[in-house]
Chain A
């Protein structure tokens, strides 16, 4: 979708991109305000478990979602709230999964960012880093076997995940099979507390692409227009049959690893560098500069978006939480093959 207005290589006509840019901005804003709300609920002790947000990575993430089409595959990771929304994941999926609502896609069984709708091509991440890439490969191979053409799959990872064996195996696999995989790496300079200098020794993660015979694209992850262009281009090339593509976005995680983490290990020099720019602010300035929005409309959007977030949270807080008595407690779809364990004593309602 983005590619139709962004010609490969450079943005030729800004006005042609206006619609996509504004759409992207509104989604980034929604992701940001939702995650700020979840973070504040976490600080108030109102969440189960951790909260993991994508502050500073919305421009990259939204570009993935907007560049994909219905029928494509997307395996987002922890910092992809914006991309999920742009791909079509309902806002309520996020809220319901965080609160463990039975009405959510994970029904309280899995939580927070561990959610998806596999029937719609949105793969539910497991925590184990790097593990989703080969699964995207499998979905793409299946489409080839089924004779379905023109779809692509995106797997999202961080710099840290590039050290996993799973990453290397899956990238090589995609290259050998020449699958339309787009691997988007958010190089946010840290994996939890570990800086890149302790994670890899190549000059650029793009070297990894070359090593596996895959096309690589670098992008400034703080700049929405660049993200839309480069991610869009990589996805278009995969769709056009040029094999796997790797995008490496340079940016900084503008939050802790999770909301429990004050992240005081982040180098202040990085924070003050171009990498540390807030992509949402950069986009706002762009909008004002080009007259695509004024201060009043920005304020209105923010207010409207905040209301949307508050309504979603309020709605989900009224929804039923899982009831252990009603839970089926089976992990197989072949119910007749499930074992029952005689020694199990019904144990709901235990004190928490």
Chain B
């Protein structure tokens, strides 16, 4: 048997629906159609009445989920593309994110965001939103990079008593495969060493983990052993694992697909620089997408986002310092 990242997301939702009567799924085209990406394929048939098609009303979709969560339900919302979650931004950051803090009543919603660039998708179907949501207090932001994490972290997201922004990367949907679904997993909030090394720590998350691993392969041929840390969850951020890795390597390069101003990579570097300055043998560096909207044409898109090649180039520069 082999299972894709997308199927793992479907399976996690099937299991959540089967095991917890409080769970329901709400989103555009998620019912009989099975979702724009087929992440809810067959679930409406399997769980009648609990996989509900929504009108094109993102603000109301998330607002409804918050209301249902107040009543003790565990809604999973699918936003058709992460980019459209901006329409629900108010309900996510002002309603869901503030709710527990204001009332002492938890707000356990899971918002699934199909994220990230794919070929020819252009500025409105390619965005990565983790840095924006991570900025707000009251939200948990997950960015699984593997089939196993897609499965186990989605299940954990549903179980968590707080609003979770679940960033699933569209580029991984069909191509990333695992033999089986995991039976155990690292908990949310813990990063993972995806590859051990001693010369440089490459911190990445979501699809960038795979670019980072490919860059590490390339650098291996030049004699460099690169350690790759997969953050898994960007909020909470596992500073300890990153710091321990930097303690071993003395060099840090942090890679993210979102824009360069602020964001996850800036946060990682700030923490290492302020709490682990003495561990560093060279200034910490980061690599992000370019500071423009995500371009449509593949030539531009491939240059806009970090790739194995540009990561390796940035790492070489850092290794020479």
* In the complex with contacts A192-B36, A265-B33, A339-B291, A324-B296 CB distance below 8 A: no
Min CB distance B77 to A, Å, is: 16
Asked if B180 CB lies within 8 Å of chain A CBs, one says no
Q: How far apart are the CA atoms of A344 and B303 in the complex, in Å?
A: 11
One digit per residue, 1 when the CB lies within 8 angstroms of any chain A CB and 0 when it does not, for chain B 107-125 equals: 0000000000001111111
Q: Is the CB of A114 within 8 A of B124?
A: yes
Give the B-binding residues of A (Cβ under 8 A): 47-50, 100, 106, 108-112, 114, 126-130, 160-161, 163-166, 191-194, 198-200, 265, 321-324, 327, 329-331, 338-339, 341, 343-345, 347-352
Tally of contacts, chain A with chain B, CB under 8 A: 162
What is the chain A residue whose CB lies nearest that of B301? A352
Min CB distance B129 to A, Å, is: 14
Q: Is the CB of A341 within 8 A of B33?
A: no
* CB-defined contacts of A348 to chain B, threshold 8 Å: 299, 302-303
Q: Is the CB of A350 within 8 A of B303?
A: yes
Min CB distance B159 to A, Å, is: 29
* In the complex with contacts A128-B84, A350-B302, A110-B28 CB distance below 8 A: no
Asked if B320 CB lies within 8 Å of chain A CBs, one says no
Min CB distance B281 to A, Å, is: 17
Q: Is the CB of A111 within 8 A of B122?
A: yes
Q: How far apart are the CA atoms of A136 and B197 in the complex, in Å?
A: 56
Q: Is the CB of A343 within 8 A of B314?
A: yes
Q: How far apart are the CA atoms of A108 and B290 in the complex, in Å?
A: 16
Asked if B163 CB lies within 8 Å of chain A CBs, one says no
Q: Is the CB of A350 within 8 A of B125?
A: no
Q: How far apart are the CA atoms of A160 and B295 in the complex, in Å?
A: 26
* In the complex with contacts A49-B122, A109-B293, A324-B299, A166-B287 CB distance below 8 A: no
Min CB distance B43 to A, Å, is: 14
Interface members, chain B 159-181 (any A CB < 8 Å): none
Q: How far apart are the CA atoms of A110 and B294 in the complex, in Å?
A: 9
Q: Is the CB of A114 within 8 A of B122?
A: yes
* CB-defined contacts of B55 to chain A, threshold 8 Å: 160, 163, 194, 198-200
* CB-defined contacts of B296 to chain A, threshold 8 Å: 48-49, 100, 106, 108-112, 114
Of B285, B306, B317, which one neighbours A347 at CB under 8 angstroms? Answer: B306
Q: Is the CB of A165 within 8 A of B87?
A: yes
Min CB distance A76 to B, Å, is: 16
Give 27 A-B contacts (CB < 8 Å), ordered by A residue.
A49-B121, A49-B296, A100-B300, A108-B295, A108-B299, A109-B297, A110-B122, A110-B296, A114-B296, A126-B123, A128-B83, A128-B87, A128-B124, A160-B56, A163-B57, A165-B60, A198-B55, A199-B55, A321-B297, A322-B300, A341-B291, A344-B290, A345-B310, A347-B310, A348-B299, A350-B309, A350-B310
9 nearest CB pairs, A to B? A49-B120, A48-B120, A111-B296, A100-B297, A324-B303, A193-B33, A127-B124, A108-B297, A347-B310
Min CB distance B120 to A, Å, is: 3
Of A48, A128, A347, A351, which one neighbours B86 at CB under 8 angstroms? Answer: A128
What is the chain A residue whose CB lies nearest that of B298? A352
Min CB distance B163 to A, Å, is: 20
Q: Is the CB of B28 within 8 A of A194?
A: yes
* CB-defined contacts of A338 to chain B, threshold 8 Å: 291
For chain B, which range describes its interface: under 10, 10 to 19, 20 to 34, or 35 or more residues? 35 or more
Q: How far apart are the CA atoms of A50 and B124 in the complex, in Å?
A: 13
* In the complex with contacts A166-B87, A322-B300, A351-B309, A343-B57 CB distance below 8 A: no
* In the complex with contacts A48-B119, A114-B124, A350-B310, A191-B299 CB distance below 8 A: no
Of B53, B288, B297, which one neighbours A322 at CB under 8 angstroms? Answer: B297
One digit per residue, 1 when the CB lies within 8 angstroms of any chain A CB and 0 when it does not, for chain B 250-290 equals: 00000000001100000000000000000000000111101
Of B32, B290, B307, which one neighbours A265 at CB under 8 angstroms? Answer: B32
* CB-defined contacts of B287 to chain A, threshold 8 Å: 343-345
Asked if B2 CB lies within 8 Å of chain A CBs, one says no
Of B59, B119, B260, which one neighbours A352 at CB under 8 angstroms? Answer: B119
* CB-defined contacts of B297 to chain A, threshold 8 Å: 48, 100, 108-109, 111, 321-322
Asked if B186 CB lies within 8 Å of chain A CBs, one says no
* CB-defined contacts of B119 to chain A, threshold 8 Å: 48-49, 352
* CB-defined contacts of B123 to chain A, threshold 8 Å: 109-110, 114, 126
Q: Is the CB of B260 within 8 A of A165?
A: no
Asked if B227 CB lies within 8 Å of chain A CBs, one says no
Asked if B130 CB lies within 8 Å of chain A CBs, one says no
Q: Is the CB of A194 within 8 A of B53?
A: yes
One digit per residue, 1 when the CB lies within 8 angstroms of any chain A CB and 0 when it does not, for chain B 26-47 equals: 0011011100100000000000
Select the residue from B87, B286, B300 with max chain A CB neighbours within 10 A.
B300
Asked if B18 CB lies within 8 Å of chain A CBs, one says no
Q: How far apart are the CA atoms of A325 and B314 in the complex, in Å?
A: 18
Asked if B185 CB lies within 8 Å of chain A CBs, one says no
Min CB distance B315 to A, Å, is: 10
Q: Is the CB of B260 within 8 A of A192?
A: no
Interface members, chain B 37-85 (any A CB < 8 Å): 53, 55-60, 81, 83-84
* CB-defined contacts of B309 to chain A, threshold 8 Å: 347, 350-351
